[in-house]
Amino acid sequence: MAEGEWQPKILAIICNWCSYAGADLAGSARTQYPPDVRAIRVMCTGRVDPLFIMKAFADGADGVLVSGCHFGDCHYIAGNFKCAKRMFLMKSVLKDLGIEDNRLRMTFVSASEGAKWAKVIEDVVKTVTDLGPSPLNQLQQ
Amino acid sequence: MAKGYNDPAMEKKFQDRYYHAADNPEFTKEVERIGRTMAHMCYQCGTCTGSCPSAPRSSYRIRKFVRRAVMGLEREALTDPDLWLCTTCYSCTDRCPRGIAPTDIIMAMRNLAFKWDIVPRNFLKTIQLIYTTGHGVPNNDVNRAARVKLGLDAEPETTHKYPEFLPGIQKIMDHYKMKENADRILSEGEH
Amino acid sequence: MHNGMHEYAFFLGCIAPNRYPGCEAAAIKTSRNVGIELLPLKGASCCPAPGAFGAVDLSVWYAMAARNIILAEEMGKDIALICNGCYKSIYEVNERLKEHDDLRDQVNEVLAEVDMEFKGTIDVYHLAELYYDPKICGVEKIRESVVRPLDGTKIAVHYGCHLLKPIKERRFTDAENPMWIEELVDALGAESVQYRNKMQCCGAGGGVRGFDLAHSLDITNEKLINVTEAGADAITEVCPFCQLQYDRGQIEIKEKFGIEWNIPVLHYNELLGLAQGMSPQELALDLHGIDCKPFLDKIL
Amino acid sequence: MAEEKKQPRIGVFVCHCGTNIAGSLDVKAVQDYARTLPGVIVADEYQYMCSTPGQKKIDDAIKEHDLTGIVVAACSPRLHEPTFRTATKEGGLNPFRFEMANIREQNSWVHMHDYEGATDKAKDAVRIAVAKAALLEDLYPKSVPVEHAAMVVGAGVGGIQAALDLASAGIKTYLIEKTPTIGGRMSQLDKTFPTLDCSQCILTPKMVDVGRHPNIELHTYTEVEAVEGYIGNFDITLRKKARGVMTPTEATAKGIVGGGCNGCGDCDAVCPVIKPNPFEFGMKPRKAIYIYHPQVVPLIYTIDFDSCVKCGLCVEACGEKKAIDLNMEDSFETVKVGTVILATGYDMFPIEKKREWGYKQFDNVITSLEFERLICASGPTGGHLIRPSDGATPKKVAFVLCAGSRDNTGVGKPYCSRFCCMYSLKHAHQITEKIPGCQAYIFYMDIRSFGKMYEEFYYRIQDEGTKFIRGRVANILEDAKTKNLHVYAEDTLLGQPVDMVVDMVVLAAAVEPTQNIDPVRKMFGVSCSQDGWMLEAHPKLNPCGTTTAGVFLAGVCQGPKDIPDTVAQAEGAASAASIPIHMGKVELEPYFAQCIEEKCAGCGMCTNLCPYSALDLVEKNGRTVMQVTEAKCKGCGTCGGFCPGGAIYMQHFTTPQIVAQIDAFLLGGEQ
């Protein structure tokens, strides 16, 4: 990539039991995807405090991905469901702040879905790249 | 390389019957691109041939054509006249356990054969007819009379009645030099 | 809907208007009796033939089919048609272009040269599926439209290939042993009969009829054996090309193989026309290669 | 948490993993970069950090540099976190002062063609890990006692074996079966390959053992209703479906001395309602009060209340035994167990969905399990194989392999069902043996005879005269008059189409997970793999475990396998499940929620969010605050993710730690 070319900064917060394991499986299977996402592991997406999302955007993230288990497969019964409801609300908050709501994405990737994880990352990187730098970053510039 | 036997009959009898590397390694990809199906996933179970209405009455084996696609055996595939015995009934496509469309592999190979100027005459004549009339099976006088008797117009509401639509059709076909090539192949065949 | 009628752009194809005009006439009249109005699609061409034309260059096939679809898009009407070959070209190209951006861009680039653009605004239907669809017509409405029941006749249904296959690219769910056209036939008072290998091809498609007539007729002959064994008085189909293969094919089989079958072959619209009281003359049954009289004698 | 705060002193270790990591990114650059990060005292690299010398580096560095936190950039923490925690502990640090940066599974292996991008990502990963390591604290795992009991769900051969093993190891074992009898699929089979043992003969002794083992409490006609708790302490509620018939024990408990069902069958004789017997796939009738077959364990009748007309004839016939209660209702019972084994088995894929083979359209097309019943001496025909259409003995039988397996159309199953090749060989043998002159044709794509003595069995069947045709069956048509079947395929070895006319077709239908098993799977927190089978903890190194501690898998529920493999896995699962029970206690990761009482407003939102009812509101110093019951908390953090006041402290995943990670990623942090 050329020097100085804008690269999206994307944070992923992923659950230990499904999505993190799915991402590991993508690795074992050597499924290639773009290297633009940095992941933080939590035990369950239920742990994802809206504060984390706001902090990430305030710090200059161009996109945030939250990924958990499929509904019904949560290791803690329904933490993913509770997170999904919060993320739904967060999208409207982001919109109010003038941040495109598809910069925040919640996905469900199981421990057996390595290929899907790669696809999710590709999609997220493409979406955020197409959107360009976060409006907050543009303000700072 | 030929063995250099002085008897051509012997040379032919003992010709190399190995197959080696693919004639054209790009052949598989070309077939897949045109046919929009993943030929390389074939596991040679024969469900296609078993479903084929042409197989029990000819030497046409669609499974073998798929194999040729996979192995890049372009010449063997395109020069085999059995290529033209597929009725495009799509039974093989419905039943293929690998979700491949063998019918579309055949269609892709026929398209590629056209580029090699290998096309049966009836196909080319259909092209000429569509180019000149808009119809593969155009109207005729007996039919016109019958139409009038039925209370229909002698010409149907198609390019037959509205020939002003023909130049557009011809422009589309000319874009691909389809008629030009069909004419050329047909005329060469007449020599 | 207009005046209580479902309106469609009527895509004629080639063989119906140019060989079996009775099919065309019957389609227009019979569908009107069940609330469907078929409007002329001016300037349409060959679909073009998926086998004979598509075999040579699929890119041109896409573009030419798209041109026909655009004519209906400009009318703002969905297309109805009566031929399985046309169904493959028009329905499948319409669906594929709607789904695949790369194909649509490629086609539109060529069509721009003739100031046309595929927009993907309409849907394509076979008239038979509209007849079967209870939201549009339905079997009951067909039954109610019958004035001359085809009582005492046994009819073998030939579905043809491109109406149902490839099944993944169709609205239908079963291409191995469908029964819905039988329901439409039974609604006319006739008795549909099951025969061996019902779903086998008529033998005409893929350019084989032109490439190796004897080969295609051998397939047809096998079907005729099976239909005869089942005791059918007639074959009905929903595709004029299949009709041509069965009807003219029987004459060719006689010439080439010396076998005489004489099984009348009628498009479902012709059958429906008879049941709705149309005369054989109104259906131009005299243009058929195989005399329909033995069949007509049973019902008239 | 009370120890004195020290400035963070962190050691970073970057692993090459041979070329697994070093081949795709610049390990040296990552190491150099780590040195620039705040708090990093030492940064090292090594070929294999997980090796003994690699671990020693950590041990040594802690001692030499008085470190407060360790970061290893290597593979996935799901693989080696325990290893490095141990190394950290050996160096004298609390093991929870360790953090891992995953630069293999989620970096070098997935960005093999972007050296620069992968290196940048690895640097960021290390920076994020260091930020967290700087805030890590000493934590202490909680030790909980383990109930000296286990549960096995599903009483097929896998569940039976697992239960017998656990029970024989001195563990109280609850064996749960949803049908009225144990035995599962194996009890429906006639013979077993490759030994040709009679399936019933080798299974019934085990079934009898289960029935009388003092440590096994058998619950048939019972389903799992609810699961609570965690390893060592599962509280499992069972739904005992109303069977309408009391066992002698149940009768005695109700004061009916000497009463209860003794399996005499007097009721069966008088019952006027006739229904198809599902055990025989409907090929044999049963009454509304029934047993599947004479060898059932327990030998207790069951009433099918969906078809019972409550005429009372059976009650009369039962007489003084008073076993029958037509008003019986489902009852519930909760048991406490330490570990659980799921052995829920399989069903046949509904092969009628593959329309081209005509199952349920043509009388003489049957499935392999129906064949088992038809050829079995205790089956509906007494072991005489007959054609369903006319009762004639078939002289030509075609076997269709891969019927719905290895199918990528979206209709069938993409996987190999693994035992169809072998049982079809066995079927071919059985008809050759039982019906003189009967010809078997096996239509196959590959014969997968990989087990012990399997290839030899294949050899034997071929020698006996079975014809093998290498071609997948395209379609099957029925001759309307004779009901014979035309099997169409291509003999791919000859390149010739085949129209084989046979009397009968046996479809070796694919297998799929037991119908409606998903709720049970989810109750136990077990995932499923892409093919729908239950997901093991690791396909190679932990094939019996699941991601839920204390829950293990046995048999086909984890993936298609034959009887030897099922029994082997059952014994493995029983062994694994017995370990915590014999240890008597397990350590739970200390990821508990804590309430920061000065911040807690006592709103109580969190108490409703907690899936384990681990949180309560209590009065403390005149204020209402939340209190965590650590034994119930599983550490998901759902409460912490929601608390509007930031009053919940999730150990090891605290808000300051996670925010520090986010800041480190986005704001940098290089010195």
Between CA B28 and CA D460 the distance in angstroms is 41
pLDDT-derived band of residue B1, with 50, 70 and 90 as boundaries?
low
Least Cα distance to B140 among D158, C287, C184, D599 occurs for C287
D181-219 pLDDT per residue, tens: 999 999 999 999 999 999 999 999 999 999 999 999 999
Sort out which chain B residues have CB atoms less than 8 A from D497's CB and list them: 49-50, 52, 55-56
SS3 D504: strand
Residue A5 lies in a domain: no
Long-range residue pairs from D610-619, CB within 8 A, at least 24 positions apart, any chain: D610/D638, D610/D639, D611/A76, D611/A77, D611/A78, D611/A79, D611/D636, D611/D638, D612/A76, D612/D228, D615/D639
Residue D47 DSSP one-character state: S
Same domain, B180 and B149: yes
Q: Specify the residue for token string 């081209």.
A: D356
pLDDT-derived band of residue D2, with 50, 70 and 90 as boundaries?
very low
> D103 vs A23, A125, C11, D99, D374, CA distance in Å?
12, 19, 61, 13, 58
pLDDT-derived band of residue A141, with 50, 70 and 90 as boundaries?
low
Interface with chain D: mutation pick from B38, B40, B49, B80, highest number of D CBs within 10 Å: B49
Same domain, B47 and B132: no
What backbone phi and psi angles, to 5 degrees, belong to D245?
Answer: -135, 135
What is the span of the domain harbouring residue A97?
Answer: 10-140
Between CA D343 and CA D553 the distance in angstroms is 6
Share of chain D above pLDDT 90, in %: 92
D412-466 pLDDT per residue, tens: 999 999 999 999 999 999 999 999 999 999 999 999 999 999 999 999 999 999 9
ipTM: 0.89
Domains contained in chain A, number:
1
For residues C241 and C265, the answer to whether their CB atoms sit within 8 Å is: no
Q: What's the average model confidence in pLDDT over D316-339?
A: 96
For residues C9 and C74, the answer to whether their CB atoms sit within 8 Å is: no
Fold designation for D593-650: Alpha-Beta Plaits (3.30.70)
Between CA D416 and CA D424 the distance in angstroms is 14
CA distance D522 to chain A (A): 6
Q: Specify the residue for token string 């009890």.
A: D187
CA distance C166 to chain D (A): 12
Final residue belonging to a domain, choices B83, B116, B149: B116
For residues D385 and D491, the answer to whether their CB atoms sit within 8 Å is: no
Report the relative pairing of strands D504-509 and D365-367 from DSSP bridges.
parallel
Residue B159 lies in a domain: yes
What single string gives the DSSP state of each residue in C156-195?
EEE--STTT-SGGGSS-S-SSS--HHHHHHHTTT-EEE--
Burial D26-55 (b: 16+ CB within 10 A, else e): bbeebbebbeebebbbbbbbbeebbeeebb
Cβ-proximal residues to C227 (8 Å cutoff; 6+ apart), any chain: C156, C195, C235, C263
Question: In this predicted structure, what is the pLDDT of residue B21?
Answer: 79
Strands (E), D193-288: 197-198, 216-219, 222-230, 233-240, 274-276, 285-287
Q: Which CATH architecture has domain D348-512?
A: 3-Layer(bba) Sandwich (3.50)
SS3 C2: strand
Least Cα distance to A10 among A67, A66, A68, A61 occurs for A61
Same domain, B146 and B99: no
Interface with chain C: mutation pick from B51, B88, B91, highest number of C CBs within 10 Å: B88
Cβ-proximal residues to A47 (8 Å cutoff; 6+ apart), any chain: A79, D636, D637, D638, D640, D641, D650, D653
Out of A1, A24, A75, whose CB is closest to D547?
A: A75
Least Cα distance to A119 among A130, A129, A108 occurs for A108
- Please report how many Cα atoms fall inside a 13 Å half-sphere around the Cα of residue D122, on the Cβ side: 38
Fold designation for D10-141: Rossmann fold (3.40.50)
Out of B44, B46, B98, whose CB is closest to D489?
A: B46
Residue C215 DSSP one-character state: H
What backbone phi and psi angles, to 5 degrees, belong to D52?
Answer: -60, -50
CB contact under 8 A, D474 and B49: yes
C269 class by beta-carbon count within 10 Å (0-12 exposed, 13-18 middle, 19+ buried)? buried
- Chain A interface includes D632 (CB < 8 A): no
User: C264: part of which helix (H) or strand (E)?
Assistant: none
pLDDT-derived band of residue A140, with 50, 70 and 90 as boundaries?
low
C-beta atoms surrounding D383 within 10 Å? 15
Between CA C89 and CA C83 the distance in angstroms is 10
Cβ-proximal residues to D97 (8 Å cutoff; 6+ apart), any chain: D68, D69, D70, D88, D133, D136, D137, D138
Same domain, B130 and B110: no
Residue B53 lies in a domain: yes
Same domain, B93 and B144: no
Q: Structure tokens of C59? A: 């890119």
Out of D76, D641, D659, whose CB is closest to A83?
A: D641
Question: In this predicted structure, what is the pLDDT of residue A2?
Answer: 46
Residue B3 lies in a domain: no
For residues A35 and D114, the answer to whether their CB atoms sit within 8 Å is: yes
CB contact under 8 A, D355 and C197: no
Report the relative pairing of strands C265-267 and D396-403 from DSSP bridges.
unpaired
For residues C139 and C191, the answer to whether their CB atoms sit within 8 Å is: no
Which sequence spans correspond to the domains of chain C?
A: 6-126, 147-297
Q: Output the domain CATH number for residue A92.
A: 3.40.50
What single string gives the DSSP state of each residue in D165-215?
HHHHTT-EEEEE-SSSSS-GGGGG-SEETTTTEEHHHHHHHHHHHHHH-TT
Domains contained in chain B, number:
2
Question: In this predicted structure, what is the pLDDT of residue D525?
Answer: 87
State in words which class domain D143-241+331-345+526-587 has. alpha beta
Report the relative pairing of strands C154-158 and C79-81 from DSSP bridges.
unpaired
Between CA D451 and CA D455 the distance in angstroms is 7
Same domain, B159 and B100: no
- pLDDT at residue A1 is higher than 50: no
Out of C14, C60, C111, whose CB is closest to B178?
A: C60
Backbone region of residue D291 per phi and psi (left: phi > 0; alpha: psi in -120 to 50; beta: other values): beta
- pLDDT at residue D600 is higher than 70: yes
Same domain, B96 and B135: no
- Chain D interface includes B41 (CB < 8 A): yes
Question: In this predicted structure, what is the pLDDT of residue D4?
Answer: 57
What's chain C's length in residues? Answer: 300
Which sequence spans correspond to the domains of chain D?
A: 10-141, 143-241+331-345+526-587, 242-329, 348-512, 593-650
Q: Structure tokens of D204? A: 């019934």
A31-52 pLDDT per residue, tens: 999 999 999 999 999 999 999 9
Burial D275-293 (b: 16+ CB within 10 A, else e): bebebbbebeebbbbbbbb
For residues D176 and D219, the answer to whether their CB atoms sit within 8 Å is: yes
What is the span of the domain harbouring residue B182?
Answer: 121-188
Share of chain B above pLDDT 90, in %: 88
Out of D76, D638, D663, whose CB is closest to A47?
A: D638
C-beta atoms surrounding D467 within 10 Å? 14
For residues C123 and C94, the answer to whether their CB atoms sit within 8 Å is: yes
Residue B1 lies in a domain: no
Mean pLDDT, chain D, integer? 95
D85-119 pLDDT per residue, tens: 999 999 999 999 999 999 999 999 999 999 999 99
Q: Specify the residue for token string 């239907």.
A: C125
User: Which option is the CATH number for C6-126: 2.60.40.2470, 1.20.1050.140, 1.10.3720.10, 1.10.1060.10?
Assistant: 1.20.1050.140
CB contact under 8 A, B50 and D497: yes
Q: What's the average model confidence in pLDDT over B47-51?
A: 98
Touch of C by B (3+ CB pairs closer than 8 Å): yes
Sort out which chain D residues have CB atoms less than 8 A from B50's CB and list them: 471-475, 488-490, 497-498
- Chain D interface includes B44 (CB < 8 A): yes
Q: Specify the residue for token string 């984390």.
A: A52
Mark which residues 92-111 of A lie under 8 Å from D by CB.
110-111
Out of D406, D409, D488, whose CB is closest to B50?
A: D488
Please give the single-letter amino acid code of residue C275. Answer: A
**Low-confidence spans in chain C with pLDDT less than 70:** none
Question: In this predicted structure, what is the pLDDT of residue A81?
Answer: 93
CA distance C174 to chain D (A): 8
For residues C26 and C272, the answer to whether their CB atoms sit within 8 Å is: yes
Same domain, B164 and B99: no
- Chain C interface includes B143 (CB < 8 A): yes
SS3 D66: coil
**Beta partners for residue D341, in sequence order:** D152, D552
Mark which residues 65-124 of D lie under 8 Å from A by CB.
76-79, 102, 104-107, 109-114, 116-118, 120-121, 124
SS3 of D477-496: EECCCCCCEEEEEEECCCCE
Same domain, B25 and B111: yes
Same domain, B100 and B131: no
Least Cα distance to D545 among D511, D569, D581 occurs for D569
D143-241+331-345+526-587 against D348-512: fold identical: yes
User: Which chain C residue shows the shortest CA-CA distance from D488?
Assistant: C197
For residues A67 and A45, the answer to whether their CB atoms sit within 8 Å is: yes
B154-191 pLDDT per residue, tens: 999 999 999 999 999 999 999 999 999 999 999 987 65
For residues D549 and D339, the answer to whether their CB atoms sit within 8 Å is: no
Question: In this predicted structure, what is the pLDDT of residue D1?
Answer: 43
Same domain, B81 and B131: no
Q: Which CATH architecture has domain C147-297?
A: 3-Layer(aba) Sandwich (3.40)
Between CA D570 and CA D471 the distance in angstroms is 36
Least Cα distance to D425 among D395, D396, D465 occurs for D465
Sort out which chain C residues have CB atoms less than 8 A from B115's CB and list them: none
Least Cα distance to C176 among D357, D412, A26, D582 occurs for D357
